[in-house]
């Protein structure tokens, strides 16, 4: 089986968020998929099997299965477009979060994703301790979204992952209004065995609805301010879903023997 190692949400190698993509002729055992993901030791490994006109898609971190992943979905569409179905400009994936569609327009992959309903919750001392500064607001969906005072709180965050493990939500996102960008964010997933997710696509299913409402904008340009960095073109659509746009590059292509 061939594994493609892709850097997603970037057009430069060694930036964006890396993911491995495995395309197999038949479904793999879940235990085997988890072992492969652990061996790859990237934030996500995507497993694809064609099923008629769509692809079954599953995502695994090195320690667990997840229900939604943006950058590995982008990486999957990139691999299919580049190596399997170059004439196709639309790819549909059957996932644990329903049918996801990725379209290819003007050299950009556009991900059509659901949003997570956000409930505002009280800011706590534990939140401040986890991210090194007091959040202005806190919201809980699948993940925890902490709105910080300024961009500096994002870039210079002093993190306490032990404290973060005690917070609600699967992943913790910190976000602030940007200067050059509409918003600047970082994402942390110690509960999934990942200290910092370099560019968390599914996080924008929380981040985009918040900033679209508070900035009164439909389209947003977002910076993920991790060490690798990443840029997303985001849109809050009229049907209540979000569209995330990005590019990807191939780092390596390897054969595995399983």
Say yes or no: 93 and 194 in one domain: no
Say yes or no: 57 and 82 in one domain: yes
Q: Residue 128 — very low, low, confident or very high, per pLDDT cuts 50/70/90?
A: very high
Say yes or no: 176 and 85 in one domain: no
Q: Is 44 a catalytic residue?
A: yes
pLDDT at 185: 99
Catalytic residue among 44, 151, 196, 235: 44
Say yes or no: 103 and 139 in one domain: no
Say yes or no: 102 and 141 in one domain: no
Q: Above pLDDT 90, what percent of the chain?
A: 100
CB atoms within 10 A of CB 119: 9
Say yes or no: 94 and 170 in one domain: no
pTM of the prediction? Answer: 0.95
| CATH classification at residue 163 | 3.10.310.10
Residue by residue, DSSP assigns the chain as -EEEEEEES-SSTT-SEEEEEEEESSPPPHHHHHHHHHHHTSSEEEEEEEETTEEEEEEE-SS-EES--HHHHHHHHHHIIIII-TT--EEEEEETTEEEEEEEETTEEEEEE--PPPEEE---HHHHHHHTS--SEEEESSSEEEE-SSHHHHHT----HHHHTTSSSSSEEEEEE-SSSSEEEEEEEGGGTEEEESS-GGGHHHHHHHHHHHHT-SEEEEEE-SSS-EEEEEEE-TTS-EEEEE-EEEEEEEE---
Q: What range does the domain containing 203 cover? A: 119-240
Say yes or no: 66 and 133 in one domain: no
pLDDT at 20: 99
pLDDT at 194: 92
pLDDT at 58: 99
What is the average per-residue pLDDT within 40-49?
97
pLDDT at 215: 98
Q: Residue 187 — very low, low, confident or very high, per pLDDT cuts 50/70/90?
A: very high
CB atoms within 10 A of CB 179: 9
pLDDT at 124: 98
- Work out how many domains the chain is built from and give that number: 2
Q: Above pLDDT 70, what percent of the chain?
A: 100
Distance from CA of residue 91 to its chain's centroid?
A: 18
Say yes or no: 123 and 233 in one domain: yes
Distance from CA of residue 219 to its chain's centroid?
A: 18
pLDDT at 91: 99
Say yes or no: 131 and 89 in one domain: no
What's the pLDDT tens digit per position in 4-13?
A: 999 999 999 9
Q: What is the mean pLDDT of the chain?
A: 98
CA 18, CA 37: separation in Å to the nearest integer? 13
CA 44, CA 198: separation in Å to the nearest integer? 11
The answer to whether the CB of 186 falls within 8 A of the CB of 226 is yes
Q: Residue 212 — very low, low, confident or very high, per pLDDT cuts 50/70/90?
A: very high
Angle at 98 between CA 249 and CA 217, to 5 degrees: 65
Say yes or no: 126 and 172 in one domain: yes
């Amino acid at each position: 089986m061939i594994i493609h190692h892709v850097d997603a949400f970037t057009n430069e190698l060694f930036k964006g968020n890396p993911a491995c993509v495995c395309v197999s002729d038949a479904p793999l055992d879940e235990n085997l998929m988890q072992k492969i993901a652990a061996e790859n030791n990237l934030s996500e490994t995507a497993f694809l099997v064609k099923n008629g006109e769509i692809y079954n898609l599953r995502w695994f971190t090195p320690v667990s299965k997840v229900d939604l992943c943006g950058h590995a979905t982008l990486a999957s569409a990139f691999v299919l477009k580049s190596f399997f179905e170059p004439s196709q400009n639309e790819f549909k994936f059957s996932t644990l979060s329903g049918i996801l569609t990725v379209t290819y327009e003007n050299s950009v992959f556009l991900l059509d994703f659901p949003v997570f309903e956000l409930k505002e919750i009280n800011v706590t001392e534990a939140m401040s301790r986890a991210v090194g500064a007091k959040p202005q607001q806190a919201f809980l969906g699948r993940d925890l979204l902490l709105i910080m005072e300024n961009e500096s709180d994002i870039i210079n965050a002093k993190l306490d992952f032990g404290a973060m493990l005690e917070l609600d939500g699967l992943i913790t996102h910190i976000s602030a209004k940007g200067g050059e960008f509409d918003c600047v964010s970082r994402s942390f997933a110690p509960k999934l065995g990942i200290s910092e997710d370099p560019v968390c696509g599914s996080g924008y299913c929380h981040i985009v609805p918040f900033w679209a409402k508070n900035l009164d904008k439909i389209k947003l340009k977002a910076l993920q301010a991790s060490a690798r960095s990443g840029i997303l073109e985001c849109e809050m659509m009229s049907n209540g879903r979000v569209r995330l746009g990005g590019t990807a590059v191939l780092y390596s292509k390897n054969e595995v023997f399983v």
